[in-house]
């Protein structure tokens, strides 16, 4: 029961904020135009600020468990390529293929995953998850741009070429936020420290006014993104895309975490290929068991994919993950891995 309550407490705030946005739209408190403009604000300003702050706040890369990083990155790419084959075989609509593909491999690690890892594994779990975020979040967003571009026709009527994809990756606001965070993080390592052991110059010190402004924008990104998603949500669309919702939801919260986490347990217990202990699994559950990223719906809308389906997948993967997170946590705890 405690595990179920934990899973509900992790996911229900998301559902409630989505419902709040939906009610605001239904009561005509805010119109559709406001929600669409808010969508742009979140995608182009607030989420990049959040990713910048998350990366900047990583304390050090010196004690990285590279086996966890490597395993996670390999698993993300494997999910991408297996998902690519699956959507080509099962999804006829090109505007939906990229949406379902990103749902398969891309989790809500920034908004749900990091707090979930801390709840499951304490400070150590949060530390491993923070390091993974510096690698997984750029990977998620680069692959998402590819997924949302590769099936659509370009301006000349042909499929987007490599140059178009690379240009969209370079211009993607979420990628820019992560790259800026990594750049500042790298520069910070070369700044000399003062007598008290702190850097003589830092964004959160000497330029605290700038850091606080960016941080405040990052703090509103998650709740505002969920409210906007609710305002753009359409329950009547479920019936027309039930098959796609089932494929995306089952893949994201059931198949991918079962395979990735299950394989990690098997390789750690019965082979010498991995040696993961109880400190690692909170981060793996958070990374691969979370629902699809809220920004995936915003990104799909901005890149002319099926934004309605993307929004449906955020909602239904969030609801379903209450139960799958409970099962994952219950199973791993019974095995002494959490």
Q: Which range among 32-36, 231-235, 257-261, 271-275 has the greatest average pLDDT?
A: 257-261
Tell me the backbone φ, ψ of residue 273, rounded to 5 degrees. -75, -35
pLDDT of residue 179: 85
Q: Which of 10-14, 52-56, 95-99, 169-173 has the highest mean pLDDT?
A: 95-99
- Its domain, for residue 127, covers 2-334
- Percent of the chain's residues with pLDDT above 90: 25
337 pLDDT more than 80: yes
Average pLDDT over residues 275-293: 90
The better pLDDT of the pair 258, 124 is held by 258
Q: Please check the confidence at residue 156 and state whether its pLDDT lies above 60.
A: no
The phi and psi torsions of 115 (rounded to 5 degrees) equal -65, -35
Q: What is the mean pLDDT of residues 245-259?
A: 95
More confident residue, 139 or 204: 139
- Dihedral-angle region of residue 200 (phi above 0 means left; psi in -120 to 50 means alpha; beta otherwise): alpha
3-state secondary structure string, the chain? CHHHHHHHHHHHHHHHHHHHHHHHHHCCCCCHHHHHHHHHHHHHHHHHHHHHHHHHCCCCCCCCCHHHHHHHHHHHHHHHHHHHHHHHHHCCCHHHHHHHHHHHHCECHHHHHHHHHHHHHHHHHHHHHHHHHHHHHHHHHHHHHHHHHHCCECCCCCECCHHHHHHHHHHCHHHHHHHHHHHHHHHHCCCCECCCCCECCCCCCCCHHHHHHHHHHHHHHHHHHHHHHHHHCCHHHCHHHHHHHHHHHHHHHHHHHHHHHHHHHHHHHHCCCCCCCCCCHHHHHHHHHCCECHHHHHHHHHCCCCHHHHHHHHHHHHHHHHHHHHHHHHHHHHCCCC
Average pLDDT, the chain: 83
Instruction: Read off the pLDDT band of 258 (50, 70, 90).
Output: very high
State the total domains in the chain. 1
The residue that leads in pLDDT, 35 or 134, is: 35
Residue 227: per-residue pLDDT: 87
pLDDT band at 285 (very low <50, low <70, confident <90, very high): very high
pLDDT of residue 206: 66
Kindly state the average pLDDT of the residues 70-91: 95
pTM, entire model: 0.80
Backbone angles phi, psi at 93, to 5 degrees: -80, 120
pLDDT tens digits along 10-25: 667 777 888 899 899 8
Q: In this model, does residue 240 exceed pLDDT 60? A: yes
Are the beta carbons of 248 and 313 closer than 8 angstroms?
yes
Pick the more confident residue, 230 or 161. 230
Query: What is the CATH number for 83?
Result: 1.20.1530.20
List beta partners, residue 153.
159
Out of 5-19, 158-172, 190-204, 223-237, the most confident range is 223-237
């Amino acid at each position: 029961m405690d595990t179920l309550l934990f899973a509900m407490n992790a996911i229900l705030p998301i559902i409630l904020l989505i419902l709040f946005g939906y009610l605001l739209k239904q009561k005509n408190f805010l119109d559709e135009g406001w929600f669409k403009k808010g969508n742009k604000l979140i995608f182009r300003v607030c989420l990049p600020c959040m990713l910048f702050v998350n990366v900047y706040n990583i304390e050090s890369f010196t004690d990285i468990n590279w086996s966890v990083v490597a395993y996670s990155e390999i698993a993300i790419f494997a999910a991408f390529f297996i998902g690519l084959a699956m959507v080509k075989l099962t999804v006829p609509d090109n505007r939906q293929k990229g949406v379902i593909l990103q749902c398969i491999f891309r989790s809500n690690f920034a908004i749900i995953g990091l707090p979930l890892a801390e709840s499951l594994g304490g400070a150590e779990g949060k530390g491993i998850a923070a390091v993974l975020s510096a690698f997984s979040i750029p990977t998620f967003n680069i692959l998402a741009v590819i997924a949302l571009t590769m099936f659509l026709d370009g301006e000349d009527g042909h499929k987007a070429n490599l140059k178009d994809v690379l240009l969209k990756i370079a211009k993607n606001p979420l990628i820019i936020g992560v790259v800026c965070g990594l750049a500042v993080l790298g520069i910070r390592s070369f700044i000399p420290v003062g007598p008290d052991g702190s850097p003589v110059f830092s964004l959160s010190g000497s330029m605290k006014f700038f850091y606080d402004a960016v941080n405040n924008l990052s703090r509103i990104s998650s709740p505002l993104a969920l409210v906007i998603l609710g305002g753009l949500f359409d329950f009547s669309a479920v019936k027309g895309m039930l098959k796609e919702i089932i494929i995306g939801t089952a893949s994201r919260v059931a198949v991918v975490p079962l395979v990735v986490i299950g394989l990690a347990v098997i390789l750690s217990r019965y082979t010498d290929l991995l040696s993961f202990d109880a400190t690692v699994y909170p981060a793996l559950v958070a990374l691969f068991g979370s629902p699809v990223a809220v920004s995936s719906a915003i990104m799909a809308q901005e890149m002319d994919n099926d934004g309605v389906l993307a929004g449906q997948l955020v909602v239904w993967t969030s609801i379903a993950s209450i139960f799958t997170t409970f099962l994952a946590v219950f199973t791993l705890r019974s095995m002494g891995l959490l």
